[in-house]
Structure 1
Amino acid sequence: MEEFLSSYKNEFLATIITLVVIIFLKYLLDKTIRKIGRISNIAEPRTVLISKYVSGLLTIIGLGIIFFIWGFDYKEVGLVFSSVFAVIGVALFASWSILSNVTAGVVLFFSFPFKIGDRVKILDKEINSDEAYLIEDIKAFHVSLRKENGELLVYPNNLLMQKAVTLVYNLEETPDGTEET
C-alpha cells in the first residue's frame, strides 16, 4: 500500500487540488448566481435551478480533469463518453425542444427583463388575444401566463425568446400608472 501511495503521490496531490478548485468554483458561482437572482428579484426556485445546471457542468469538467490526471486510456474514456452522448443525443433529437427550452431558460434567467407578477403581451399571431397575461411562474422549460378570466397559458421558453414580448406593467406599478404600496 505504501508503495502504491508513493508511486502515485503526484496524481493524488493533483486530484486533491482539482477537487478543492472545483468545490471552490461551485461555491463561488453559486453565491454569484444567488446574488444575481436577489438583485434582479428573480424567484428562488429559478435561481436554484440555474445553480444546479452550473454545478452539474462543473462536476463533468472536474471528472474530465481527474480522468486526465490519472492517465485513463483516452480510447476507453472516449468510448464511454461517446456512447453516453450518443444515447443522450438520440433522446434529445427525439425531443429537441427540451434542450432548446432548457437553454432558453438559462438565458432568460440572466437577461429576462420581466419578473413573476408582471403583465405582458406576447405578439404572436397564433395567440388570438390582445389581453395581457400575468406571469405566474418561470420554470426551466416554460413560463406560466394567466389571463384576467383565469385562462392559463403555458408558453415554452424558446418561443418566448423568439417572439416579441411587451411589458404592460410590472410589479411596482398598476395599469393606471400609480405605484403599488
Structure 2
Amino acid sequence: MKPFDIRVIETVIVIVAYIVCFFMTKVTVNKFLKNTQLQRGRRKIMIKAFNLISLFAAILLIGAIWGLKQNQIALFTSTILTALGIAFFAQWSLLSNITSSIILFFNHPLKIGDTIEILDKDYTIEGEISDLTYFFVHLKLSNEKIITIPNSLILQKSVAVIEKTKVKTK
C-alpha cells in the first residue's frame, strides 16, 4: 500500500472515531454527571466543552498523520494559548467572550432557566436565560423574542437574578 493510501485510511479512522465520540458524549457524560447532581444546563455546557476538546484532538491527530512535525504542532498550540491569554485582556473580542463563558460557568450564579435583569442606566433588559453558549447568553423576553447578549457584556454589567429555576437532575 502507498503511504498516501495509509494516511487517507488513518484520517478516515480519526474522523469516524470523532463522530462516534461526538454522539456518544451526550449519553456517557450525562450518565456520569447525573451522579454529581449537576443541573441540566451545566451538563449541556460540559458536553459542548468536551466536544470542543475532542475536535481539537482530532485536528491535531489528523495534522500528525499528514506530516506535521512536533515543533509545528507545538507552535500551533502555543499560538492558541497565547491568543487565549490575550483574550483575558481584550475587551470586545470574540476570544474575550469565550473567556467570559468559562468565568460565567464556574463563578457566576446564572443558569439556564433563570429569569434575570441586566441593569443599565439607559436600557434594562429582563428575560429568561434560554441558552448559554461560548459567545452569547440567549435571553427569552416576555414578548417571546430571543435576544443574544455577549458574555463579556454580562460580566461588565450588573445582573439581578429575579427568579431561580428549580434544580433539574434529568
With the length of structure 2 as denominator, give the TM-score of the two structures.
Answer: 0.54
1:105 aligned partner: 101
Letter in 2 for 1:107: I
- The verdict on how the C-alpha distance between 1:125 and 1:46 changes in structure 2, with shifts beyond 3 A counting, is same
Q: Is the 8 A contact 1:121 1:133 kept in 2?
A: yes
Which deviations, in whole Å up to 9, do the C-alpha atoms of 1:79-99 show, x marking residues without a partner?
97179839x95xx99xx6211
CA distance in 2, matches of 1:78, 1:158: 32
Instruction: Kindly report the root-mean-square deviation, in angstroms, between the aligned alpha carbons of the 2 structures.
Output: 4.2
Which deviations, in whole Å up to 9, do the C-alpha atoms of 1:39-95 show, x marking residues without a partner?
3414243111222455578x5xx99xxxxxxxx8x9xx2697179839x95xx99xx
- The verdict on how the C-alpha distance between 1:97 and 1:83 changes in structure 2, with shifts beyond 3 A counting, is same
Q: Is the 8 A contact 1:37 1:47 kept in 2?
A: no
1:125 aligned partner: 121
* SS in structure 2 at match of 1:125: coil
* SS in structure 1 at match of 2:93: helix
Sequence identity of aligned pairs in percent? 26
CA distance in 1, matches of 2:73, 2:51: 27
What stretches of structure 2 of length at least 5 have no aligned partner? Answer: 1-27, 62-68
CA distance in 2, matches of 1:39, 1:52: 21
- The verdict on how the C-alpha distance between 1:42 and 1:161 changes in structure 2, with shifts beyond 3 A counting, is farther
Decide which structure has the larger Cα Rg and report it.
1
CA distance in 2, matches of 1:155, 1:40: 24
CA distance in 1, matches of 2:36, 2:130: 18
Residue among 31, 35, 46 paired with 2:33? 35
Which deviations, in whole Å up to 9, do the C-alpha atoms of 1:132-169 show, x marking residues without a partner?
21111111110100211123220011111121111101
* SS in structure 2 at match of 1:116: coil
Which deviations, in whole Å up to 9, do the C-alpha atoms of 1:106-141 show, x marking residues without a partner?
222222312111100011235x23x62111111111
CA distance in 2, matches of 1:37, 1:160: 30
Letter in 1 for 2:100: A
1:177 aligned partner: none
* SS in structure 2 at match of 1:122: strand
Q: Is the 8 A contact 1:50 1:106 kept in 2?
A: no
- The verdict on how the C-alpha distance between 1:119 and 1:97 changes in structure 2, with shifts beyond 3 A counting, is same
1:20 aligned partner: none
Q: Is the 8 A contact 1:42 1:115 kept in 2?
A: no
- The verdict on how the C-alpha distance between 1:80 and 1:117 changes in structure 2, with shifts beyond 3 A counting, is closer
- The verdict on how the C-alpha distance between 1:42 and 1:107 changes in structure 2, with shifts beyond 3 A counting, is farther
2:134 aligned partner: 140
Q: Is the 8 A contact 1:100 1:158 kept in 2?
A: yes
